[in-house]
Amino acid sequence: MPEIYFFMKKYYYLLITIFLLASCEEDVKFNTPAFQGLKGNVFWRAQNYSAQAKASGGIVIEGGLGVDAVSLKLPSSTPKTYILGVDNITTASYLNRLSSMAPQFTTGTNKGSGQIVITEFNNQTNTVSGTFRFTAVNANTEDLENPTVTFTEGVFYKVPYTPTTNF
């Protein structure tokens, strides 16, 4: 009789283990495609995003969240690091489209700083991936409360692009 209890105990523990493993569920949500970063150290994720490859070889990558929009303009779609604040060709901008009086922030020649890194430009899947960080300057120099906006830890991942439009 004790042997039966020993075997029953084994089966009982085996059934409990199987039940526990079978009932474990992990809901993995993939964030593909993605356009996100930290805006002033607060998480910011775009609800809509796109990229347009231009006939000139340049590319514009955009992300929007409600009335907020981020635009990254590059002279080339070649995977590499692009430095901001050097010229008006490679730029990053942020604007709030709520009203025409809302501040607009941008980088340009000797204005702002940061970088955009294209890590992948895939012609087969029509997607672009990379990272960005920038500090953009308010176009309204009289707005002393908001002189700059900063995005850090920015990522755009497999953002769909439309090949070749006019720049």
Question: Distance (Å, rounded) from C-alpha 164 to C-alpha 167?
Answer: 9
Residue 62 lies in a domain: yes
**Per-residue pLDDT tens over the stretch 23-36:** 555 555 567 789 99
pLDDT-based confidence at residue 167 (cuts at 50, 70, 90): very low
Residue 75 lies in a domain: yes
Residue 6 lies in a domain: no
Residue 101 lies in a domain: yes
Answer left, alpha or beta for residue 147, where phi above 0 means left and psi between -120 and 50 means alpha.
alpha
Type and span of the H or E element at 16: helix 2-23
Range 19-25 average pLDDT: 57
Residue 65 lies in a domain: yes
The total domain count for the chain is 1
**Per-residue pLDDT tens over the stretch 68-103:** 999 999 999 899 999 999 999 999 999 988 866 778
Domain span holding position 59: 28-165
The pTM score is 0.78
**Residue 102: partners with Cβ closer than 8 Å, 6 or more residues away:** 67, 95, 96
Give yes or no for a contact between 144 and 50, defined as CB atoms under 8 angstroms apart: no
Residue 158 has pLDDT above 60, yes or no: yes
**Per-residue pLDDT tens over the stretch 105-152:** 999 999 999 999 999 999 899 999 999 999 999 988 777 788 899 999
Residue 61 lies in a domain: yes
pLDDT score, position 3: 60
Residue 5 lies in a domain: no
